[in-house]
Chain A
Amino acid sequence: MRKEVYTDPQIFDLEMERIHERYWIYCGHESQVPKPGDYTAVQIGRQPMLMVRGNDKSVHVLYNRCPHRGNMMCGDRHGNTGEFFRCSYHAWTFQHDGALHPSVVHQSTGRAAYEVEKDIAKKTGKAPLSYHMLSAFATVTIDKWDNFQTLNYRYGHCILTGYMGLRPKDPDTLAYEKVMHKAYGKQRTEKILGVNIHHVLIYPGLSVQSPLQQLRAVRPLGVDKTLTEIWHFRLKGAPEPIYRRSLAYYNLVNSPATMINADDLENFWKCHQGLASNGGDWVSFGRFHGRDIEKGGVVETGPNMGTSEAPMRNQMKAWAEYMGNGR
């Protein structure tokens, strides 16, 4: 034997492909999944797999991968998935045999913050706005997200319209508006503060969140590693509470102890796990495809179709354009 059989990663990959992912390999014993919905995760060759007991008592073995964006379906080693599998990323739902079940995000923190917000309001009359920044992430149904809109520009840029209601009529905001009036006059102030934007995405790696004075630089380090650098800003001359609002958002949503991005980051990690499988060669950006509205080169998501994957389609179009330019 050549020693490369033991050391060369390419030979290892070939061995996985031609032996361990092709012939009969022990997956598990059916007694590991006695009840309907019981599953256990197992690696076969390089493939993350799931063995699951169906409602009809039969045992299925599936790729541990969501066909949508490739998210790993089950993050745990074993457990019970209930009547269906539900993907943690965009809540696609699947039967135990893997069939798509005809049917949301940040629920955990959003609900928890909503409850505490209510408790504080009961005790003191009004909870600080920072609780709303968290509870705004709670969703009862996916419809809520469909109310928003994305505007997609050439070269992959995108605007997500506002949804957090960050121009409330509280004394701090009113004081800020007064300062703005003084500095810019009524008309220009309206123009600045009336902008209904949550995020501006500047392809390929910058995101501006103007209502919260935030800037994020997304820096790719490798195929499965990305550094996100987050800056928050103090507006010159604006009252201190406006800075505090931005700071609270920064601390709660974007610190390394974030209560909002924790699940997003988990999903991104799980996408890489799922995509390592041969469960499919494609990821899907098809939501509401063909129903976007194009106006003068800008692609808008249609009414009540805010969850359209138009921004991803738009970015990948730019990606293809740039990548095709070998100059």
Chain B
Amino acid sequence: MSAKAQHDAEQFLYRQAALLDGKQWQAWIDLFTPDGVYWMPADPAHKHWDGMPAIFAEDKNLMTVRMRRVLHPDAWSQRPLWGTNHVVSNVIIDKAAKNGDLVVRSRFHMMELRRDDVRHFAGQYTHHLKKTKGGYRVKLQRVDMTNAQAAYDYVLQVWV
């Protein structure tokens, strides 16, 4: 695995996380390929996003619905002070294809603040990255939450 691929993959993950923390929803969606999918399985044993109950299983159209929802003035649950902080680390390239496409595994930690309440989420990202002229694009982002199987206290408003 080349040091450059490792570096580029890391930079990509950091920038993607920064877009979430900066609430740059459209720029974040733009990082997906046209057929890209964001998937958070309800069960770590699930192998495929399609046809399974999931916490998230969104193509770009559904991502757009979610973005427009959170930007709508009547999305009441968005009204309190609200923000996140992501840390991404332990980046491992699992597969590197000849054409430059990568499968990258990493660990994340996200702290979320709503009003005065802090929640923590952590888990594993698996990014299937496609190499394009404009840099990497996400074909599939799998997000395995450590608490995927636990009851959720309040909802996840946007992508983790």
- The residue that A263 contacts in the complex, of B61, B67, B77, with Cβ under 8 A, is B77
- Interface assignment of A262: CB less than 8 Å from any CB of chain B: yes
Which range holds the interface residue count of chain A? 35 or more
Bound-complex Cα distance A255 to B51 (A): 14
- Interface assignment of A159: CB less than 8 Å from any CB of chain B: no
Bound-complex Cα distance A74 to B80 (A): 9
- Interface assignment of B66: CB less than 8 Å from any CB of chain A: yes
- Interface assignment of A301: CB less than 8 Å from any CB of chain B: no
Q: Across the interface, which residues of B come within 8 angstroms of A56, CB to CB? A: none
- Interface assignment of A256: CB less than 8 Å from any CB of chain B: yes
- Interface assignment of A313: CB less than 8 Å from any CB of chain B: no
Is A255 touching B54 in the complex (CB atoms < 8 A)?
yes
Could you tell me the distance in whole angstroms from the C-beta of A124 to the nearest C-beta in chain B?
10
- Interface assignment of B32: CB less than 8 Å from any CB of chain A: no
Determine the residue in chain A with the shortest Cβ distance to B148. Answer: A256
Q: A88-B76, A266-B76, A267-B76 are in contact. Are A116 and B155 (CB under 8 A)?
A: no
Could you tell me the distance in whole angstroms from the C-beta of A37 to the nearest C-beta in chain B?
14
Is B72 touching A107 in the complex (CB atoms < 8 A)?
yes
- The residue that A75 contacts in the complex, of B53, B69, B76, with Cβ under 8 A, is B76
Q: A247-B51, A255-B54, A263-B76 are in contact. Are A112 and B69 (CB under 8 A)?
A: yes
Could you tell me the distance in whole angstroms from the C-beta of A308 to the nearest C-beta in chain B?
23
- Interface assignment of B64: CB less than 8 Å from any CB of chain A: yes
Could you tell me the distance in whole angstroms from the C-beta of B1 to the nearest C-beta in chain A?
33
- The residue that A255 contacts in the complex, of B55, B75, B81, with Cβ under 8 A, is B55
Q: Which of B5-38 contact A (CB under 8 A)?
A: none
Chain A, 176-189, contact with B by CB distance < 8 Å: what is the 0/1 string? 00000000000000
- Interface assignment of B108: CB less than 8 Å from any CB of chain A: no
Chain A, 106-147, contact with B by CB distance < 8 Å: what is the 0/1 string? 011101110110011000000000010010000000000000
- Interface assignment of B146: CB less than 8 Å from any CB of chain A: no
Could you tell me the distance in whole angstroms from the C-beta of A79 to the nearest C-beta in chain B?
8
Is A266 touching B57 in the complex (CB atoms < 8 A)?
no
- Interface assignment of B129: CB less than 8 Å from any CB of chain A: no
- Interface assignment of A227: CB less than 8 Å from any CB of chain B: yes
Is B75 touching A108 in the complex (CB atoms < 8 A)?
yes
How many residue pairs link A and B with beta carbons under 8 A? The number is 95
Could you tell me the distance in whole angstroms from the C-beta of B59 to the nearest C-beta in chain A?
10
Is A263 touching B55 in the complex (CB atoms < 8 A)?
no
Q: Across the interface, which residues of B come within 8 angstroms of A113, CB to CB? A: 65
Bound-complex Cα distance A33 to B51 (A): 52
Q: Across the interface, which residues of A come within 8 angstroms of B55, CB to CB? A: 255-257
Could you tell me the distance in whole angstroms from the C-beta of B115 to the nearest C-beta in chain A?
8
- The residue that A111 contacts in the complex, of B56, B68, B154, with Cβ under 8 A, is B68
Q: A107-B74, A251-B57, A255-B56 are in contact. Are A134 and B65 (CB under 8 A)?
A: yes
Q: Which of A236-250 contact B (CB under 8 A)?
A: 244, 247, 250
Q: Across the interface, which residues of B come within 8 angstroms of A79, CB to CB? A: 79
Bound-complex Cα distance A263 to B67 (A): 15
Is A76 touching B77 in the complex (CB atoms < 8 A)?
no
Q: Which of B52, B77, B151 has the most chain A CB atoms closer than 10 A to its own CB?
A: B77
Report which B residues bind A (CB closer than 8 A). Answer: 40, 42, 51-57, 61-62, 64-70, 72-77, 79-81, 115, 151-152, 154-157
Cβ contacts A to B, 22 pairs, < 8 Å: A88-B74, A88-B76, A108-B69, A108-B70, A109-B72, A111-B72, A112-B69, A116-B61, A116-B62, A131-B61, A232-B53, A247-B51, A251-B57, A255-B53, A256-B55, A257-B55, A257-B157, A259-B69, A263-B75, A266-B76, A267-B76, A269-B154
Excluding A108-B69, A120-B61, 5 further A-B contacts by CB distance (< 8 Å) are A108-B72, A116-B61, A251-B53, A257-B157, A265-B154
